[in-house]
Structure 1
Amino acid sequence: MPLTSSSRLSPATLALLLIPPLMWAGNAVVGRLMQGVVPPVTLNFLRWVLALLMLLPLAGWVLRPGSDLWPHWRRFALLGLLGVGMYNSLQYMALKTSTPLNVTLVASSIPVWMLIMGRVFYAVPISRRAAMGAFMSLCGVVVVIARGDLGGLLSVRLVPGDLLVLLAAVAWAWYSWLLARPPANEPTAIKADWAAFLLAQVVFGLLWSAGFTAGEWLTMPALAPGDSAIQWGWPLVAGLLFVAVGPSLLAYRSWGAAVGRVGPAMAGIFSNLTPLFAALMSATLLREPPQLYHLAGFVMIVGGILVSSRR
């Protein structure tokens, strides 16, 4: 939806639009830094445990026995599975074999999967312009996955991380459609309170994540005597605090406020700054400078989404 007044992009609104992609890029970089410090699925579980503790003082009422949450528990259990239990677990797992820049670039294809899922499951038509934009974005994803070697694309060997982040993108697209098409009887008190709405998802998402974490530990290779799967110390504590506060609470709150001010189309354009921020952070903190194919993929993905979002 086009802007109707210059006040919509005031400094405060611009900050709201920039905070989420900055936090999401930081999430990918911290997830990479935590490799070898804590198992990836366990990292996701600990992240949301801390987020739950921070949300309880803000919206603990939603968990009371008489709350409107419980008659609608199936919906929030599904939202918790996709948005809390799966999406970030898959991203953290992907970072074992892929870079933060690759992960954020491939995740930028989420609008494409939303178009496809909307057409298949919700009978939402795809315009010619949207199809063209989706094709451009998918080409950008292919460039990144192929590491720029389009000539040898048929023989390219995908790293597991590329496939995991594609699965994460599909899960997030489904999650987004569930948010966009809520049931008519969704409780308004929960929906109107961002903290209550997030807490309702997190409480069920943690149950899913606990099950996934148990599976991770049961299938973990045996450790040598004296070794520990979790390296407790200040790096882990700092990383957990960042992913619990920044990508979980601050980004979620800023995203909701930004969408309310400028609409989802404009906010979606800003969200595609995530790979750019990830590239800058990776080069600075991880000594993983971006390659030319990253730039080509970024241009094609963002270009495709810009084409799709124009009237």
Structure 2
Amino acid sequence: MKARTAILLTIPPLLWAGNAIVGRLVAHDVPPILLNFLRWAIAFILLLPFAGPIFRRGSGLWANWRRFTWLGLLGIGLYNALQYLALQSSTPINVTLVASGMPVWMMLTGWLFFGAGVSRRPVAGAVLSIAGVLLVLARGEWTHLMELRLVAGDIFMILATIAWSLYSWLLTRTTGPADIRGHWASFLLAQVAFGAAWSGLFAAGEAVISAAVIHWSWPLFAALLYVAIGPAIIAFRCWGAGVQQAGPAVAAFFVNLTPLFTALLSSLILGEAPKIYHAIAFILIIGGIIVSSGRAPARR
């Protein structure tokens, strides 16, 4: 794997770790589904000056609207909404740890729906990588694993992970129009446009069944800007480019860096120094990435 590809796939987990922490911090200030809609509405506005022409008549966007409808639903409408919903009842570290099952779900969805085979190297890489994640969860002592309790948020995150797996495979297994595919902002805006529409629809449903309101403040506004620019625009751009180069099965292992980054960021926020088990977990996760990327999985 090229260093550039590895960097592209490392940036999203770092930004998503911050997204999990921020999402938890504002959980009592804004309803989760509405938070997702506001995030992508801001991202839409920021991307519009760079890729507005895709909405012109005759653009490849309209000829391929079904493709972008699915990408927007899975990667933006469902994944992010379910993640914020998970953070209402679960902690950032638990949410990112549940998401560490991504390599397994990525292999399963690829095998079931996209004709991808499964070889020994990805399985071995998954074992190493998940071992590193479990080490973080256990805080260096395996007996702590017995204290883990799943909550509703963990179930929401499992569903989110499945949605993201399908989204990632769709990125590589379908072709898009040349006028959009060749420009990163256009390709991302096409997804955001449909994703924001899905998010708005879900937010409207949330407003009907929930009495939650927004508690506006400058910290909340800053949080919205962060989740719209970092974990949304920058992370999605890097993830899309990285998946195109490495493939979804290998890229999935980089998601396991998210709980490690979450633990480190939480430690920094709480003023606690990283522990030795963080370093060991990092080695295990990187080892899983190296092993899994040694050879592409076979195809049926």
- Equivalent of residue 19 in structure 2, options 6, 27, 43: 27
Aligned pair 1:243/2:243, yes or no? Answer: no
- 1:95 counterpart residue number: 87
CA 234–174 in structure 1, closer or farther in 2 if over 3 Å, else same:
same
| Contact persistence 2:122–2:293 (CA under 8 A) | yes
CA 178–16 in structure 1, closer or farther in 2 if over 3 Å, else same:
closer
- 1:82 counterpart residue number: 74
Offset at residue 91 of structure 1 (A): 0.8
- Equivalent of residue 179 in structure 1, options 165, 171, 174: 171
Offset at residue 295 of structure 1 (A): 8.5
Distance in 1, matches of 2:271 and 2:87, equals 15
Aligned pair 1:274/2:248, yes or no? Answer: no
Structure 1: unaligned runs, 5 residues or longer = 224-228
Aligned pair 1:112/2:104, yes or no? Answer: yes
- 1:220-262 Cα shifts (integer Å, max 9, x gaps): 1x47xxxxx10011011000011111111122334455667x7
CA 97–37 in structure 1, closer or farther in 2 if over 3 Å, else same:
same
TM-score by length of 1: 0.80
Identity %: 54
Offset at residue 92 of structure 1 (A): 0.7
Distance in 2, matches of 1:214 and 1:258, equals 34
Moved more, 70-79 or 18-27: 18-27
Moved more, 299-308 or 21-30: 299-308
- 1:193 counterpart residue number: 183
CA 246–284 in structure 1, closer or farther in 2 if over 3 Å, else same:
same
Distance in 2, matches of 1:286 and 1:217, equals 34
For the residue of structure 1 that corresponds to 2:193, the secondary structure is helix
Offset at residue 306 of structure 1 (A): 3.9
Offset at residue 200 of structure 1 (A): 0.7
Distance in 2, matches of 1:114 and 1:152, equals 27
Offset at residue 20 of structure 1 (A): 2.5
| Contact persistence 1:41–1:213 (CA under 8 A) | yes
Aligned pairs for 1:116-265 within 5 A: 116-135=108-127, 157-183=149-175, 186-220=176-210, 222=211, 229-256=213-240, 263=246
Structure 2: unaligned runs, 5 residues or longer = 296-300
Kindly report the root-mean-square deviation, in angstroms, between the aligned alpha carbons of the 2 structures.
Answer: 3.3
Moved more, 98-107 or 79-88: 98-107
TM-score by length of 2: 0.82
For the residue of structure 2 that corresponds to 1:180, the secondary structure is helix
Aligned pair 1:285/2:269, yes or no? Answer: yes
Distance in 2, matches of 1:143 and 1:280, equals 13
Report the AA paired with residue 196 of structure 1. Answer: S
Distance in 2, matches of 1:232 and 1:122, equals 44
Report the AA paired with residue 180 of structure 2. Answer: I
Report the AA paired with residue 162 of structure 2. Answer: V
Distance in 2, matches of 1:159 and 1:44, equals 21
CA 38–86 in structure 1, closer or farther in 2 if over 3 Å, else same:
same
Distance in 2, matches of 1:40 and 1:278, equals 19
Offset at residue 307 of structure 1 (A): 3.2
Distance in 1, matches of 2:159 and 2:276, equals 25
For the residue of structure 2 that corresponds to 1:59, the secondary structure is helix
- 1:84-142 Cα shifts (integer Å, max 9, x gaps): 10111111111112211222222232222111111111221111232333455567778
For the residue of structure 2 that corresponds to 1:108, the secondary structure is helix
Q: How many residues align?
A: 292
Distance in 1, matches of 2:53 and 2:124, equals 46
| Contact persistence 1:31–1:92 (CA under 8 A) | yes
CA 242–97 in structure 1, closer or farther in 2 if over 3 Å, else same:
same
CA 144–94 in structure 1, closer or farther in 2 if over 3 Å, else same:
farther
Bigger CA radius of gyration: 1
Distance in 1, matches of 2:117 and 2:99, equals 23
